[in-house]
Every structure is written in structure tokens, then in C-alpha cells.
Amino acid sequence: MQHSPDFQLQCPIPLSDYPRVTLAHGGGGKLTHQLIAEMFAPMFDNEFLRARHDGAVLPMDGERIAFTTDSHVIQPLFFPGGDIGSLAVYGTVNDLAMCGARPLYLSLSLIIEEGLPMQTLWKVVQSIKTACERAGVKIVAGDTKVIERQNGDELFINTSGVGVIEHNLDIRPGAIHIGDRIIINGDLGLHGIAVLAQRQGLEFETTIDSDCAPLNGLVGELLRADISIHCMRDLTRGGLAGALVEIAGTAKKHISIDETKITVREDVQGACEILGFDPLFVANEGRFVLFLPPDETEKALAVMHKHPLGAGAAVIGLVDEGAPGVAARNDFGGSRVVEMFSGEQLPRIC
């Protein structure tokens, strides 16, 4: 048997460190990044994957489309503010929006564990339909599999999506520039804490609802306003910190953020302190960061503040001189280096 010259018989991930896949390999932190960077990316290397974006921007008869795929494995299936159905739709819609695309079509694949109550499945299907209507997309293809009892986790959903790019902007991590300002569209931590509270039966003085929502409407408003967007990224697994570290690494730029400009609701902050979480790392499903030239900051904020999902938009940092990485200034005037977490802070949140 002959192999191509670049075929590797040895696994690129040191087996002495991780002989088996762990949950943390899917948590959005260092181990996820290692798995992608050292195993998947080199094996499937091409010009589209090298962009390290939320989706692939592909040429199509002189035009451009965006394509992405996402799998959703969350417990519980229903949580305050959303469920696995709406999460699956919005997750893929938002990835397309982060590429600067107008989402159009989704595929829907369900892996159902034997014994799932039919009424539960019906509720999820209804939620998917409502979410598609809200986001303005259509389910155009799908697949259904049923696996034996106790071989799954009730229900897994995969959605893939296609969107059209109707502008000439080059929106990707590698397009950010020194001097770019960074805007976030709202407060942090709602989704991760909402899911954890529901899963563990935790009770707080107030109900914390997930921020699960489609971002394509807000992004569309920014694009129609001719904002010169350089990069966008939604803040799912790994939260704000994970997204910024990934972008800094891909773009080989230094990013500085001001933690005093980042809003965290008091009840979310309290929950994080009790549970030992850093809000910068907690997952969100309706939040994203936007990189753009400094002279367009006020115009972008004005557009965002008029939209319900951008009412809390604020400038939180900039791209500046320095070695690739992320630094955060705190309330006391100090600064810390922000890195991806090594383990798993909050499993199965998307």
C-alpha cells in the first residue's frame, strides 16, 4: 500500500497527553483549538479553511455565497429563552451573518434517541419553524436517524446553511487592521448561565433568559448603512475571550479590551461569582463583536442602537501594536493576558 508524501501515519495529537477524546475537546477552549489546528486543518488544508472564519465564502458564477454547518448537543433540550430547535436555526443563521451573508436556506438533520417522547419532538419542530420564520430562512433539505436508547442524548441536530453576499467587503479575521475599534452588541453571559441554571436546578432571585436570537437582521442594517466592516464573530463556545483570542491568532494582531466597557448583568455576574466562572468565557447565542475603522464607530453605534439586538452596543477595545494576543484592562487600572481556557468551563451549551 502506498501513501501520498504528505500522508501521516502518526496522529498529530500526542497520544501520551490525550489518548482519548475528552469533553473539553469540544468546549471551545485550548483543546478544541489544538484538535482543529493540529489534526483537521492540516489534513484538509485549502484556501477556504485558511480564513478560519465562521463559514466559507465561496465563488459562484461571478458572485459569492457563504456556506456553514453546525451541530447542536445541548442539555436540557428546553431552557429559559430558547431550546435546541431555535438554537440550531439561529446558530447557523448567525454564522452566515458573521460572514457578511444574507442567510437563505438551511438543511436540517435530526439524530433522535429511541424513546424520545413524540410530544417533545413536536415542540422542537414547532420551535424550528418559528425560528426560521423569524430569521427569514427556509429548510430545503434534511435527514432523520434514530439510534438505540442510551446511545445518544435524547436529540442531536445538525444544520447547514447557505447565504448570499451582496456587497464587496472582505469580512474575515485576516482583514482587521491596527487601529480598528471593536464593538459588542450587548451584555455577556446570559445563554451559558440560563442553560446551567436549568440543567442544575439552580434558583436565582431573577430568571435569567438565554439571549438566543438571529443576528442577520442587525448585521443587514449595518451592511445597508455602508459600514466598512472588517470582521465579525459571534460569541458562542469560549465566549468573548475565546473569539478574540482566535481572531488575534489568525490575524496575527494584538487586541486590547477594556473590561469596564463590557456589560454583565448584575444577576449574571453574581451567578458567575458563585459558580467560579469568568463572564468573558461564558457562551452567548445573540452576541457578536464587530471590527471596523475608528472613523466609522459612531455611525455603526447609531445604527445598532436603533435595533433591539443592538440597544446595548458599546466600544470595548481596539486593535493595537504588539505581539499577537489579547490583553484586558480591569477596574483597578491593571491588565491581564486573556487566553483560552484549558479545560471545559460549561459543557453542552450549544
Query: What pLDDT is recorded for position 29?
Result: 80
The contacts of residue 300 (CB under 8 Å, 6+ apart) are 183, 222, 225, 227, 290, 292, 313
Cross-strand pairs, 71? 158
Query: What pLDDT is recorded for position 1?
Result: 40
Confidence of residue 167 (pLDDT cuts 50, 70, 90): very high
Q: Where are the alpha helices (DSSP H) in 99-178?
A: 118-135
The alpha carbon dihedral of 90, 93, 96, 97 has a sign of negative
Cross-strand pairs, 234? 288
Query: What pLDDT is recorded for position 254?
Result: 98
Given this structure, which CATH class describes domain 23-165?
Answer: alpha beta
The contacts of residue 15 (CB under 8 Å, 6+ apart) are none
**pTM confidence score:** 0.92
Residues 96/160, Cβ–Cβ less than 8 Å: no
Q: Are strands 314-320 and 254-258 parallel, antiparallel or unpaired?
A: antiparallel
Please enumerate, as own/partner, the contacts of 277-281 that have beta carbons within 8 Å and a separation of 24 or more: 277/189, 277/192, 277/193, 277/345, 277/346, 278/241, 278/345, 279/188, 279/189, 279/239, 280/188, 280/239, 280/240, 280/241, 280/328, 280/338, 281/238, 281/239, 281/240, 281/241, 281/242, 281/341, 281/345
Domains 23-165 and 173-338 share a fold: no
Domains in the chain: boundaries:
23-165, 173-338
pLDDT tens digits for 182-225? 999 999 999 999 999 998 888 888 889 999 999 999 999 999 99
Fold of 173-338: Phosphoribosyl-aminoimidazole Synthetase; Chain A, domain 2 (3.90.650)
226: buried, middle or exposed (CB in 10 Å: 19+, 13-18, 0-12)? exposed
Confidence of residue 89 (pLDDT cuts 50, 70, 90): very high
Sheet holding 181-184, edge to edge: 231-234, 288-292, 181-184, 314-320, 254-258, 325-329, 335-338
Query: What pLDDT is recorded for position 2?
Result: 46
